[in-house]
């Protein structure tokens, strides 16, 4: 088990994908932030560029399950995910 697998919302598969994206610790995840991490993950696995993955990353950074994020934050994250998914750059 890796350090990342001990982080809330991060299981073995996302942990491997995070490592492939160059993120090997919770500290690195926090430093980079959920949105930048999510963008990197989309390079490793385009299926990870969904809203729920971004919510999980934000929850991991905050140390809470993604469903415990405040509604306003969840809405903002969902809007960001939808905006980026429409953008050809990601």
Which of 56 and 87 is assigned the larger pLDDT? 56
Q: Which domain holds residue 67?
A: 3-86
**Which CATH number does the domain housing residue 75 bear?**
1.10.150.20
pLDDT of residue 89: 55
What 3-state DSSP class applies to 84?
Answer: helix
10 Å Cβ neighbour count for 67? Answer: 10
Q: Per-residue pLDDT tens for 22-64?
A: 999 999 999 999 999 999 998 898 877 788 999 999 999 999 9
CA 29 – CA 7 distance, rounded (Å): 10
Q: How many domains does the chain have?
A: 1
CB 18, CB 41: distance < 8 Å: yes
The number of CA neighbours under 13 Å toward the Cβ of 39 is 11
């Amino acid at each position: 088990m890796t350090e990342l697998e001990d982080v809330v919302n991060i299981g073995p598969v996302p942990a491997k994908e995070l490592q492939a994206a160059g993120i090997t610790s919770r500290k690195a995840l926090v430093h980079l932030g959920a949105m930048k991490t999510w963008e990197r993950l989309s390079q490793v696995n385009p299926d990870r560029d969904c809203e729920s993955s971004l919510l999980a990353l934000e929850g991991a950074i905050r140390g809470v399950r993604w469903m415990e994020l405040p509604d306003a934050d969840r809405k903002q994250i969902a809007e960001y995910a939808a905006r980026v998914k429409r953008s050809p750059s990601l």
